[in-house]
Structure 1
Amino acid sequence: MKLTSISSHLPSAQPQWVRRFAKLGLGAKGVVYCLVGLLAFMAAFEIGGRSERQLNKQGVFRFILDQPFGQLLLALVAAGLVCYALWRLTQAFLDNEQEGTDAKGIGRRIGYAFSGLVYGFLAYGSFRMVVGSQGNQGGDSSRQTLVRELLQKPFGQWLVGLIGLCIIGVGLYQIYRALSGKYLKNVQTSSIKTEVKAIIIRSGKIGYIARGVVWGLIGYLFIKAALEANATQAGGSSHAFVFLEQASYGSYLLGAVALGLFCYGIFMFVRARYEVINTSS
């Protein structure tokens, strides 16, 4: 079913709730990425006994849960992620961003839908942790299960390799957005105080580059899993952090990426405050 036919059966977006959901969602995403960056930095320099092997988003949720009033805090973050997911889905199906129905527009709307589904699953997993259902499958092990099943299919190695190339493409696009300045597309930079504007803009650029590096490493690990027909080589952010840590000057590399991800989280707060949220379909 085409996106246009789906959107025709959905109610029109109401400006206030779309705007509120977007801002709450961006704030929750900022919290998650700031914690990912902080914990990765601690793991890089062995502060507080942190391990880079546990630094996926599920690890961040467990960290929140272990804090005083952890269940309440995690529930708030989960609610924010639900808001983010719903905002992305309205962008996909109601076309709030006026992307259109040509190939480029459909591609972007599919990207919004994919982002919405990913963060919807993250919210679901965090709510399960709030109510005490920890589960045995983390994000990385789920990816390994998927890769293991694909490798058993005809042309499975090619499929896994293609997924890896697509993930690298996402990473390169993040870096392109940073270097081209497109990450500022909808941000009202004129409203940011002059004395902090340069720092905020630079933090966003650094953050998107760091996120692109992590996506690129994840894609590389998928390709490595395909070439070696070994599902354990694949994984998510924690595997990427382990890969960095094991490289020459690994602690410094991981520390730099960690600071970049923290900057990305800070920039999500900036977006929540200053981004123009399109609400008309």
Structure 2
Amino acid sequence: QIGRMMTISDLHATASRFKHAKNLDDIDPEDFAWAVPIMRAGYAGRALVYLVVAGVSLWSIFQGGEAEGTKSAMQSLDGPIGVITIIAIAAGLFAYAVWRLIDSFWDLEAYGTSAKGIVARIGMVVTGVVHGAIGVIAITALGYASSGSKGQKLLSDFMQSTLGSWVVTIAGLLTVATGIYYFYKAISQNYRDHLQANHFTMHWNFLLRAGLAAQGATVMIIGGLIAYSGLSSNSSGAGGLGTAFDWLKEQAFGNILVILLCLGLLGFSLFCMVNAFYRIIPKAADPSVESMAYKVQQLAS
């Protein structure tokens, strides 16, 4: 009984950062159990994206080629296994998009309605939309949709205007801020509030931190390139992971930097997969489950 009360208090600690969060004692986890499979599928799909991109890029580099962006990496998957992989990626990303939307709407992670909580929940919606868009890219890689020079021309025309230049620049700066937040998560390790404590998560936490830091570096590079494109009104520099790889390759020891980044993204893929298996949803959590944060605190006392 004491252990049960302690783990419930741990869940309270997770929510205590958000002043107006609903009392978790008043919530029956079974009411939100339906959200757990969606969350698991979403994080698994996200993990698969980074596994494919980093894996294909490393293989290409070792074969004398170049690192590839998300769409190019998916297009390089051929044959029945490749098609199945891309379908799994798309389904997972759409599941992740849905998960972020319902997570925000039902406040499943108890962020509450304080200013900080509202910002966090808006961020969930944004990440949901972004990952839904990546899911569309996956479908595009199968050849069921098309995107080409017309979209690039529209972006270029938009960026030639003063409004377009400012919008793209601000979008780039916000992306940089997102990358900084990933670094903050890696340093503060606040993700431990939402991960179950077990042998793997407790002993391999350094890999999770490295993966988050690598994702932070990637997102910051992408954001910086987008912001620069906005300031220079040049749409060719505004891109995703492929553009970031191209920029890194042009630097001193470029290939080594790209390889290190790919290895880091494999770590982020692991981080996403660990979340798929062991993430704690405060409003849907079994009270007997202990978080990493609680376990670390317990070991320190």
TM-score normalised to structure 1 length: 0.82
Q: Is the 8 A contact 2:87 2:138 kept in 1?
A: yes
Q: Deviations over 1:63-82 (max 9, x none)?
A: 33x14433233222222222
Counterpart of 1:48, as a letter, is Q
Please report how far the alpha carbon of residue 206 of structure 1 lies from its aligned counterpart in structure 2 after TM superposition: 0.8
Identity percentage over the alignment? 29
Please report how far the alpha carbon of residue 33 of structure 1 lies from its aligned counterpart in structure 2 after TM superposition: 0.8
Whether 2:164 is the aligned partner of 1:160: answer no
Work out the CA distance in 2 between the residues paired with 1:257 and 1:57. Answer: 14
Where do residues 118-157 of structure 1 align in structure 2 (5 Å cutoff)? 118-130=130-142, 132-137=143-148, 147-157=155-165
Match of 2:120 in 1: 108
- Please point out which of 46, 50, 74 is paired with 1:29: 46
Number of paired residues? Answer: 255
Work out the CA distance in 2 between the residues paired with 1:85 and 1:263. Answer: 22
Work out the CA distance in 2 between the residues paired with 1:226 and 1:73. Answer: 35
Match of 1:218 in 2: 222
Counterpart of 1:15, as a letter, is F
Superposition RMSD in Å:
2.4
Match of 1:8 in 2: none
Q: Which has the larger radius of gyration?
A: 2
Work out the CA distance in 2 between the residues paired with 1:18 and 1:235. Answer: 33
Whether 2:259 is the aligned partner of 1:247: answer no
Where do residues 10-49 of structure 1 align in structure 2 (5 Å cutoff)? 15-43=32-60, 46-48=61-63
Whether 2:192 is the aligned partner of 1:180: answer no
Please report how far the alpha carbon of residue 156 of structure 1 lies from its aligned counterpart in structure 2 after TM superposition: 3.4
Q: Is the 8 A contact 1:34 1:265 kept in 2?
A: yes
Work out the CA distance in 2 between the residues paired with 1:211 and 1:72. Answer: 26
Whether 2:238 is the aligned partner of 1:272: answer no
Cα gap change, 1:49 to 1:279, in 2 (>3 Å): farther
Where do residues 185-264 of structure 1 align in structure 2 (5 Å cutoff)? 185-188=193-196, 190-193=197-200, 197-198=202-203, 200-264=204-268
Counterpart of 1:136, as a letter, is S
Please report how far the alpha carbon of residue 150 of structure 1 lies from its aligned counterpart in structure 2 after TM superposition: 3.5
Structure 1 SS opposite 2:62: coil
Work out the CA distance in 1 between the residues paired with 2:146 and 2:272. Answer: 29
Bigger mean CA deviation after superposition, 201-210 or 228-237 = 228-237
Q: Deviations over 1:119-178 (max 9, x none)?
A: 222223423544x4251349xx96x55652442333433332222211111111111110
Q: Is the 8 A contact 1:22 1:277 kept in 2?
A: no
For structure 1, the residue ranges without an aligned partner over 5 or more in a row are 1-12
Q: Deviations over 1:251-277 (max 9, x none)?
A: 111111110000110121111111112
Counterpart of 1:27, as a letter, is A
Q: Deviations over 1:94-129 (max 9, x none)?
A: 111121222211111111111111222222342354
Q: Is the 8 A contact 2:211 2:269 kept in 1?
A: yes
Structure 2 SS opposite 1:247: coil
Cα gap change, 1:145 to 1:26, in 2 (>3 Å): farther
Counterpart of 1:77, as a letter, is I
Cα gap change, 1:232 to 1:67, in 2 (>3 Å): same
Structure 2 SS opposite 1:255: helix
For structure 2, the residue ranges without an aligned partner over 5 or more in a row are 1-29, 285-301
Counterpart of 1:47, as a letter, is F
Structure 2 SS opposite 1:185: helix
TM-score normalised to structure 2 length: 0.77
Work out the CA distance in 2 between the residues paired with 1:225 and 1:149. Answer: 13
